[in-house]
Amino acid sequence: MKELNHRYAGGFPKIGIRPIIDRRKLVKAALKGMTMALAHEAASVLTASVRNPDGTPVEVVVFETCISGMAEAARCAETFRKEGVGVIVTVASGWCYPLETIETDPTLPHAVWGFNGTERPGAVYLAALHAAHNQKGLPVFKIYGRHIQDQEERNIPEDVRDKLVRFARAGMAAALLRGKSYLSIGSVSMGIAGCVVNEDFYQRYLGMKNAYVDMTEVVRRMDLGIFDPDEFETALAWVKRYCREGEDPNAEQDRIDPERKEANWAASVKMALIVRDLMIGNPKLAALGYEEESYGYNAIASGFQGQREWTDHYPSADVLEAILCSSFDWNGIREPFTVATENDNLNAVTMLFNHYLSHTAQIFADVRAYWSPEAVERVTGWKPEEKLAGGFIHLINSGPAALDGTGEQSREGRPVMKPHWEITKEEAEACLSATLWRPVYMDQFAGGGYSTDFQTKGGMPVTMSRINLVDGVGPVLQLAEGWTAELPPDVHDMLDRRTTPAWPTTWFVPDLIPGDPVFDDVYSVMENWGSNHCAVSYGHIGADLITLASMLRIPVNMHNVGIKRLFRPSAWSAFGTKDPEDADFRACSAYGPLYK
């Protein structure tokens, strides 16, 4: 149902463009047309390249007049506030007065583009304005084109376009987080520290709130039928049609009877409906007499504790997590939800970052094992070559690996994971066909249930990432761009059987950098990973993640993104240019979190 899939009742944040101009009468008259034309050209680039989570073009508000002084700057700020602007771009074609045209809201990501011309150098204003911002402790992103343009030009050069779009994507991701909530269903799973919800992190770094629901609320709603009964019947019929059961991996004496398996399917579907309703609400519940339950928690992400208090008695949460995290369900194709297994909220935040930058579904995975080429050859007799020659990492987890992760969507004949608005019905069904739903291992999940079993197609560019909290530092982000890989079927089977073959597998190979302390070899990537979990996103989005992290003042402690692709606020260079990683840590420490 469409009303159930929209999580942004207050609307999406907008991008505001501030056209800046010299106040002197003759100069103002000469540059007004050019300045407004450049502002509208920037708006056209952004609406063509940046999308809201529902696939619609981002809305851009160009202030109605050029800003030449404090009165106009104040009117622009008030207009943007009323319009719901969450990201700002300042555009100047020539010199202006920086301290009289500056925007000082410290919570709004802000970029400044100064037209690089010699007749009326907007780049000079850019230099003066970003210096003023840095002097005031208000970091901005500086957009300076490489090549000088002629005064009559109105087109935006490719390098300027790339920075505008990268900034806008990351700025919109930051703005989408603000004011939303993370819903913790249950508490800490099996002693995993990533399950501990740190409210200071959410409030000060992300601008988010936290909500908490005990897992007994899910039981209550299941027992009392607090879900849409019509949708439940639709969902159950869809599951029976599209979710193929795979072989039971349990020994004969440990298998549960068919009637209980059928009941577990019904319970799993109810759990999915209930968790979604807890996150975003469901007006149909009010019609059933449950007005309070119909509201939801305004949550753009959630986590389900599951193990072990739940899974020792009730079906595992794997079905609810896999279905909600995918780009489709019984209601059709829709934006994925973000639901973390084991309530690992730090992985959920990472999944949110990835989703808002790529608009694709996410693969939640254990960083299970590094397979060296020597170990692979010893176990299987097969010697990895080419991209696999340095070994690979086995990513696998029972729960919320989106079914999009099968790689059954395609573009120009290659496997991809698409934004939901590009996915066809046939591609969604292909993802389902490539997935087996295997009964869970009864020694681990005594309540029964089902896990997904698929192998991700090889050759997809992906980024593996993770937020970690470190005492004395705070949040840090780590990421590795690389590729999914396929092994010969018999090799896959031999390696997969050594772990949990009833779970989905993604074989991952990071891009290596000779001589790098971490990315010189695959083993070191595994060795330096900060947790047992990671989020995997389609595409090489590492540069976008680094830009977003700098907006939120989260340093990046590990990445394989080339230095020329880094785009952070201009103030970062004042903390050192020889070692960008060290400068990033010191800048984030000096400025502190975005929401103080």
| Both structure tokens of 8 | 């942004």
Q: In whole angstroms, what is the distance from residue 274 CA to residue 317 CA? A: 12
Q: What H or E segment, with its residue span, contains residue 89? A: strand 85-92
Tell me whether residue 342 is annotated as binding: yes
Tell me whether residue 533 is annotated as binding: yes
547 torsion bin: left (phi>0), alpha (psi -120 to 50), beta (else): alpha
Pairing of strands 450-453, 461-470: unpaired
User: For residues 198 and 224, is the Cβ–Cβ distance under 8 A?
Assistant: no
Locate the DSSP E strands across 208-266.
209-213, 244-245
What Å distances lie between residue 41 and 12, 19, 36, 59, 444, CA to CA? 22, 11, 8, 14, 58
User: For residues 346 and 467, is the Cβ–Cβ distance under 8 A?
Assistant: yes
3-state class of 38 per DSSP? helix
Tell me whether residue 355 is annotated as binding: no
DSSP classification of residue 51: B
Q: Hey, which residues are catalytic here?
A: 342, 366
Own/partner long-range contacts of 131-138 (Cβ < 8 Å, ≥24 apart): 131/98, 132/98, 132/99, 132/102, 133/102, 133/570, 133/571, 134/570, 134/571, 134/574, 136/102, 136/104, 137/106, 137/591, 138/102, 138/104, 138/106, 138/110
Q: In whole angstroms, what is the distance from residue 400 CA to residue 348 CA? A: 10
Q: Which residues pair with 319 in a beta bridge?
A: none
DSSP classification of residue 256: P
User: For residues 137 and 591, is the Cβ–Cβ distance under 8 A?
Assistant: yes
How large is the angle between the packed helices 25-49 and 158-177, nearest 10 degrees? Answer: 70
Could you tell me which residues are annotated as the binding site for Mn(2+)?
342, 366, 533
